[in-house]
Amino acid sequence: MKLFSVFPLILLIHLFMTASQPVFYNDKPQQDNADNDTLRYPQEKHLKNVRMLTKGGENAEAYWSFDNKKLTFQRTDLSLGIPCDQIFAWDLKKGSMINQSPTLISTGKGRTTCAYFMPDNKSILYASTHLADDACPESPPRVKGEYYWPIYNTFDIFVADLKGNIIKQLTNEPGYDAEATVSPKGDKIVFTSDRSGDLELYTMNIDGSDVKQITHELGYDGGAFFSPDGSKLVFRASRPKTEDEITKYKSLLERGLVAPSAMEIYVCNVDGSDMKQITNLGRANWSPFFHPSGKKILFSSNHNSPREFQFNIFMINLDGTELEQITYDNIFDAFPMFSFDGKQILFSSNRFNGGGHDTNVFVADWID
């Protein structure tokens, strides 16, 4: 679950934003100038030809198929009768989803998260609570000054075909199993589970066999992705150190909650060895993804926001040097994912939404 729910936080924000005419996705390249690249902020020098793929609701965690022709994402939209996240797929040759409907992949029951294409480009991996209840699980109560992510113990990981038929259940352990992504090599899956009593990273073979725990330190480890060559993992983690921090972390976890306000980015080998902390920025650093070179990482962070709720995408070297801001929306940019050929990037943003709370999926050409 790369995004447990940043959206309730966004819904608390009431800022007026000047609307611009959206540039929707189409098959014709656009010139990089102020007249028609209207969804790109002037400072965003690594992005070109920014296009909006969705319009309305809460759309996030969009990830490419291995052949770069399709994407999968999660959506909540009360106006469409989707009360909590469900998984959808889209074929990019059809253009944008502005006036077209994507294909529902999940069952429409329970809550889902973290969909990812399997190597065959014909099936999708995702986590869901639907076996426990048809209804959406309850969101944690909001407490002034506090913000928590729910860890639903009814999540399990499934594989479905492009028509939404579940063809396999990959996990069947008590507790939380979610946040699964697939190696570019097509051989392994990484996911987060609390089966040890803490939130740790695990790997398994593409068929669900040979499950191995690869992180062991107290704290939440999640949102992991493989490097382009499949040899490393990047993920977000909390590391409570003081007695008070440890007590609070364990108390929240017993209640099925995690406080996301203090997370940093880590990298390790696929077996968990050579663990390194990449960022030391404070606040919430999350949704990391490897640059196509394998030598840099993109991630979302609010570390330099005076308002705390402003999240932008940053890039940093694997040794923690040369931190660079990539996006500049004044509310929310997150979930960067490069196409497998490294030419394009998907991300989710609140940019140019007419002053509302909609979060949409965008695609852009990447310029190094």
pLDDT tens track for 44-80: 999 999 999 999 999 999 999 999 999 999 999 999 9
Helix H or strand E segment including 89: strand 82-91
- At 293-307, the pLDDT tens digits run 999 999 999 999 987
pLDDT digit string (tens) for 214-233?
A: 999 999 999 999 999 999 99
How far apart are the C-alpha atoms of 297 and 310, rounded to whole Å?
20
- pLDDT 10s digits, 74-117: 999 999 999 999 999 999 999 999 999 999 999 999 999 999 99
Q: What architecture is the 7-366 domain classified under in CATH?
A: 6 Propeller (2.120)
| pLDDT score of 17 | 30
In this structure, which amino acid lies at residue 233?
L
pLDDT at 288 over 60: yes
Whether pLDDT at 9 is above 60: no
Nearest to 368 by CA among 144, 47, 42: 47
User: In this predicted structure, what is the pLDDT of residue 27?
Assistant: 35
Contact residues for 80 (Cβ-Cβ < 8 A; gap 6+): 57
Task: Please compute the mean of the pLDDT values over residues 348-355 and round it to a whole number.
Answer: 92
pTM of this prediction? Answer: 0.91
Between these two residues, 6 and 342, which has the higher pLDDT value? Answer: 342
- For the segment 265-286, the average pLDDT, to the nearest whole number, is 97
Mean pLDDT, residues 194-221 taken together = 98
Angle at 324 between CA 23 and CA 239, to 5 degrees: 110
Query: Could you tell me the residue ranges of all domains in the chain?
Result: 7-366
Residues in the chain: 368
- Non-local CB neighbours of 289 within 8 Å, separated by 6+ positions: 225, 234, 297, 298, 299, 336, 337, 338
Average pLDDT along the chain: 90
Neighbours of 283 (CB within 10 A): 17
pLDDT of residue 13: 35
Q: Is the pLDDT of residue 19 over 50?
A: no
Angstrom CA distances, 233 to 115, 248, 277, stand at: 18, 27, 12
Question: Higher-confidence residue: 16 or 132?
Answer: 132
